[in-house]
Amino acid sequence: MDDCVFCKIVRGELPSWKVWENEQAIAILDLDPITAYHTLVLPKSHYENIFEIPPDLLKEVIAATQQVCLLYREKLGIQNIHLLNNNGRQALQSVFHMHIHIIPVTQRVFPGPIQKHPELMSQYPEMLARLE
């Protein structure tokens, strides 16, 4: 889609903080992170949500998600994560290109509203360097 922010990232028209990539999927750091290394894994092809994506491509996105999680465990020692996928406006989907959030958990988060920490973006260069 021409106006989809994730499609623009895939096409190289918008900058991103790329963590991982293969032919089918890409993983990027979230621009409005909840925790350090909050990552989005998305198919390179545009599908609005879980209801639209073909099963074979969904398998590739899930496999890519696992690869990033394994990378974080190996390089960073992250043992606890949330995986999140929102589908539809009422489910708080804000970018209508199917994606999975990887949200590392390093401390117990108590129930309540999710707090975002955009100040973490200033640490992205260092965070990516730790993954090399």
State the pLDDT at residue 116. 84
Residue 24 identity (one-letter amino acid) = Q
Structural domain span for residue 84:
5-106+113-129
pLDDT tens column, 49-65:
999 999 999 999 999 99
pLDDT value for 2: 82
Any idea what the CATH number is for the domain that residue 96 is in?
A: 3.30.428.10
Can you list the pairs that 116-122 forms with residues at least 24 positions away whose Cβ atoms lie under 8 Å?
116/32, 116/33, 116/34, 117/33, 117/34, 117/35, 118/31, 118/32, 118/33, 120/33, 120/35, 120/36, 120/38, 121/29, 121/31, 121/33
The answer to whether 99 is a known catalytic residue is yes
Secondary structure (DSSP) of 36-50: TT-EEEEESS---ST
Does this model's pTM top 0.75? yes
pLDDT band at 29 (very low <50, low <70, confident <90, very high): very high
Q: Mean pLDDT of all residues in the chain?
A: 93
From the candidates 38, 46, 97, 99, which is the catalytic residue? Answer: 99
**Residue 113 in this model has a pLDDT that exceeds 90:** no
Give the model's confidence band at 115: pLDDT under 50 very low, under 70 low, under 90 confident, else very high.
Answer: confident
pLDDT > 70? residue 25 = yes
Q: How many domains does the chain have?
A: 1
Per-residue model confidence as pLDDT tens digits over 42-99: 999 999 999 999 999 999 999 999 999 999 999 999 999 999 999 999 999 999 999 9
